[in-house]
Amino acid sequence: MVHACKERQCIEMENQGFQGTQEYVASPELMASVNIAIALKKPLLIKGEPGTGKTMLAEAVAKALNKKLIIWNIKSTTKAQEGLYVYDTIQRLYDGQFGEEGVDDIARYIKLGKLGEAFDSDEQIVLLIDEIDKADLEFPNDLLWELDQMEFYINETKRTVKAKHRPIVIITSNAEKELPDAFLRRCIFHYIDFPSPELMEEIVKVHFPNVEENLLKNAMEVFYNIRNIRDIRKKPSTSELIDWVNALQIGGIPTETIKSALPFIGVVVKKDEDLETVRQSGV
Amino acid sequence: MFIDFFHNLRSKGLHVTLGEWLTLQEALDKDLCGSSLTQFYYVARMILVKSETDFDKFDMAFEECFKATQRETEVGAEMLRWLDKSDMMELAHEEARDHLNKMEEVQVDKEDVEEKFRQRLKDQDSEHNGGSYWIGTMGKTSFGNMGGNVGGVRVGGKTGYQSAFAVVGARKYRDFRDDRVLDNRQFQLAFRKLRQFSSRLDIPESELDIDGTVDKTCNNGGCLQIVMKKPRKNAVKLLLLMDSGGTMIPFSHLLNDLFQAVHKSNHYKDVKTYYFHNCIYSKVYKTPECENGDWVDTEWLFRNIDSDYKVIIVGDAAMAPEELYSTTGNYRGPNGGLSGYDWLLQVKRHYKKVVWLNPKMAPGHAPWREAETAVKNLFPMYKLTVDGLNQAMIKLMVNK
């Protein structure tokens, strides 16, 4: 471990940019990937087990660099076009009926999407494209040009929206669908590993600075034992551990009973079959 | 720079493109790696590798290229195997903690440990577990893993991040590795061809009906009245019949991919999957295990899954002649008094669109493969490749 600490310090020292925040503990590789994505002006693609803090990363980056965060949540019905702009034809039609002022100005009915908003902003923005794999198979391909050149063209008004300050783009994926190669080639990729016990301790302490040492030690031991059971279906992740520690604290459970009685274990293990497995294995 | 590394990566099967390579050069140019090899490892990995499944290949290429710069002693594969004892974890747990408590106070001299470690690597020639001198699991020396010693050299076993070579040596991304030849995505794209839009489905009206709007507005004396309509949705229904007989076992990966692709393509109105063993008889099975009793009548299938379902049969069509033509030659499940060939004829008669995908189709005419030729005459048959699948999808869409 002596070696590891040294490495970590040296990575931290080399980076003057993003270094995690008070609320978000990032591994050195993750910090490095954020800074390199910024330096190379490429989108950062983050993958990892659910609950390892992919979405929170963008918030932390925005906070650390003191920039505004724009979140574009992707759903299965999201189209790439919606992120750029939407032309509200129906509103214009209605307004035209009643001779409303300014109907001949199409620009009034062009509403910029999240990506458009980020490009058009006067300051540099952190843009989070959350769960890109939820969308249609073609979705990432439709955004290639826009993310590469950081500009798009509005047909109706013949206006080109070009990013005044290149936004810091962070994209998360749960690997539900495979992303197209052409898209991947343009990204910096980072896979969030499951945190080691040392890092995990740090993370929990960030959330609960006053957590009792013994409680945390016992809870973490049970937690990592559960993750080590081979036939568990859904492995508990960071967010579940944090919830559990919180529940244990609020419930005022005596620390000695954590390992034997497994109080509130439903917070950590969510599937019936898994509960059964945990009880049988007797962690 | 490092052009050998580039070629090495490609020879390991990583499709690093020139664009990505130039990005890495740019990063080096901007001095983003400092002069640290570890930093270079992470920077190169995040630029060149885009999936955790490829991390292992990258690790291996990296190790090969930069091994000469490695300061630490190399740990042989053999030794790592001796140490791969994660299943002992639970057993060792109690013991290890006891040791930890006792040895917390022990001061460890790092130089000394490393020196001894190197020496012992040289001498050790067999597996050791639980001893107090050699490198092994659950022991008391400073070397190996799961031991009770606090300040030692961890060899194999569980590891955190740390220096590049600690990661490379641990090969922690080995489990993610997948060497599938065919990309699932290509299959999915092929299945997208199977589209037939219809607006007669039971979904909310969320699209502007332009013709209707103009019509209503005219009737309304020019005052605008908006009419909405249902969007057009894919109405294709799919019936998948998969052979899971013994001769199909070599292709199970391929079939799995195909199955995944069909189920990930959520744009179909309905997908039904049934299994058969070598040939379709009077029963089709609900699971790939094809267990007796876990089945439905093929005639029930005809009654309940109507004829506008598009049918994809996947199988190697390598039945023995008696399996296809004899009414007594079938050895799995009942056949209802008809031969396999007759059952296939029934399928052909009932469903309008049927294609057969064959993972090991013989090229051209193959008279020596009697069953395959016979099935080919019944159904259009395509080889189970991305290309064949594309052709089959087109066949399913066009009119006869």
- Chains A, B: CB contacts within 8 A come to 102
B285 compared with B68, residue with greater pLDDT: B285
CA distance A213 to A199: 15
Residue type, position B317, single letter:
A
Q: How many domains are there within chain A?
A: 2
Low-confidence ranges of chain A (pLDDT < 70): 1-17, 176-177, 282-283
Look up residue A112 and give its two tokens: 């910029």
Q: Coil, helix or strand for B91?
A: helix
DSSP state, residue A194: P
Question: Percent of chain B beyond pLDDT 90?
Answer: 2
* Mean pLDDT comparison of A266-280, B114-128, B152-166, B298-312, highest-scoring range: B298-312
Using an 8 Å Cβ cutoff, are B23 and B47 in contact?
A: yes
Of chain B, the percentage scoring pLDDT greater than 70 comes to: 66
Adjacent-strand bridge partners of B243:
B276
Residue-level pLDDT at B209? 85
Asked if the structure places residue B26 within a domain, the reply is no
Predicted pLDDT of residue B323: 80
Torsion from C-alpha of A119, A121, A124, A130, nearest 10 degrees? -60
Q: Are residues B268 and B385 in the same domain?
A: yes
Contacts of B151 in chain A (CB under 8 A): 1-2
Q: How far is A191 from chain B (nearest CA, A)?
A: 6
Most confident of A249-253, B142-146, B247-251: A249-253
> Looking at the domain assignment, is residue B308 inside a domain?
yes
Q: Are residues A43 and A149 in the same domain?
A: yes
Between A29 and B356, the more confident residue is: B356
* Predicted local confidence at residue A274, as pLDDT: 80
Contact B320, B371 (CB under 8 A): yes
- What domain count does chain B have? 3
For chain A, strand residue ranges (E) read 44-48, 68-73, 85-87, 110-112, 125-130, 151-154, 159-162, 168-173, 188-192
Find the range with the poorest average confidence among A70-74, B8-12, B17-21, B363-367. B363-367
Query: Which residues in B have their CB inside 8 Å of a CB on A?
Result: 15, 17, 19-20, 23, 26-27, 30, 32, 34, 36, 38-39, 42-43, 46-47, 49-52, 55, 86, 89-90, 93, 110, 151, 160-163, 166, 183-185, 188-189, 192, 208, 223-224, 226, 264, 266
Tell whether B127 and B262 lie within a shared domain: no
Q: What is the pLDDT of residue A5?
A: 37
The predicted structure's pLDDT at residue B109 = 54
Q: What is the pLDDT of residues B250-260, one digit of tens each?
A: 777 778 778 87
Contact (Cβ atoms closer than 8 angstroms) between residue A245 and residue A216: yes
Compare CB distances from A4 to B17, B47, B162 and report the shortest one's residue.
B162
Domain final residue pick, A192, A216, A231: A192
Q: Answer yes or no: do B282 and B208 share one domain.
A: no
User: How high is the pLDDT of residue A130?
Assistant: 92
- Using CA atoms, how far apart are residues A63 and A134, in angstroms rounded to an integer? 26
| Other beta carbons less than 10 A from residue A122's beta carbon | 7
Mean pLDDT is lowest, of B297-311, B321-335, B363-377, for B321-335
Whether residue B72 has pLDDT greater than 60 = no
pLDDT at A13: 36
Q: Count CB-CB contacts under 10 A for residue B186.
A: 17
The amino acid sitting at A26 is: A
Could you identify the residue written with the tokens 């307004």?
A95
Three-state SS at B326: coil
Q: Is the pLDDT of residue B86 over 50?
A: no
Contact residues, A window 219-258, toward B, CB-based 8 Å cutoff: 225, 228
Residue A68 sits in a domain whose CATH number is 3.40.50.300
**Once rounded to an integer, what is the mean pLDDT over residues B230-252?**
80
pLDDT of residue B73: 46
Residues B249 and B359: beta-carbon distance below 8 Å: no
Residue B276 has pLDDT above 70, yes or no: yes
For the whole model, what pTM was predicted?
Answer: 0.59
**What are the pLDDT digits (tens) for A142-162?**
898 888 888 999 988 888 999
B55 bridge partner residues: none
Least trusted range by pLDDT, from A99-113, B146-160, B178-192, B211-225: B146-160
Query: Is A39 touching B (CB cutoff 8 A)?
Result: yes
Question: Could you give the angle at the alpha carbon of B148 between the alpha carbons of B142 and B150, nearest 5°?
Answer: 60
Q: Please give the residue of chain A at the shortest CA–CA distance from B162.
A: A4
pLDDT of residue A195: 83
Give the pLDDT score at B90: 47
One DSSP character per residue, A121-155 reads: -SS-EEEEEE-GGGS-TTHHHHTHHHHHHSEEEET
ipTM: 0.71
Which of A32, A178, A225 is opposite residue B42, by nearest beta carbon?
Answer: A32
Determine phi and psi for B152, rounding to 5 degrees: -135, -165
**A 141-170 residues with CB < 8 A to B:** none
CA distance B142 to B123: 16
Kindly give, in sequence order, each residue whose CB lies less than 8 Å from that of residue B252, ignoring residues fewer than 6 positions away. none
* CA A264 to each of CA A247, A258, B66: distance values in angstroms, whole numbers, following the listed order: 7, 9, 49
Asked if residues A45 and A184 have their Cβ atoms less than 8 Å apart, the reply is yes
Give the range of the structural domain holding residue A77, as residue numbers without chain letter.
2-192
- State the Cα–Cα distance between residues A258 and A264, nearest whole angstrom: 9
Lowest model confidence (mean pLDDT) among A232-246, B77-91, B301-315: B77-91
Whether B177 has a pLDDT exceeding 70, the answer reads: no
Answer whether A35's CB lies under 8 Å from A51's CB. no
Is the pLDDT score of B216 beyond 90? no
Of A29, A97, A190, the CB nearest to B161: A29
Which residues in chain A are closer than 8 Å to B223, comparing Cβ atoms?
97
Domain end position, chosen among A192, A218, A241: A192
Same domain, A178 and A204: no
A3/B162 CB distance under 8 A: yes
Q: What is the pLDDT of residue A45?
A: 93
Looking at the structure, tell me whether residues A52 and A163 fall in a common domain. Answer: yes
Whether B366 has a pLDDT exceeding 90, the answer reads no
Residues, chain B: 400
pLDDT in tens, B29-45: 888 877 788 888 888 99
Q: Which domain CATH number covers B340?
A: 3.40.50
Please tell me whether residues B225 and B247 are part of one structural domain.
no
pLDDT of residue B332: 66
Residue-range definition of the domain harbouring residue B88:
77-155
Say whether both B228 and B240 belong to one domain. no
Q: Which residues contact residue B25 at a Cβ distance below 8 angstroms, ignoring those fewer than 6 apart? A: B1
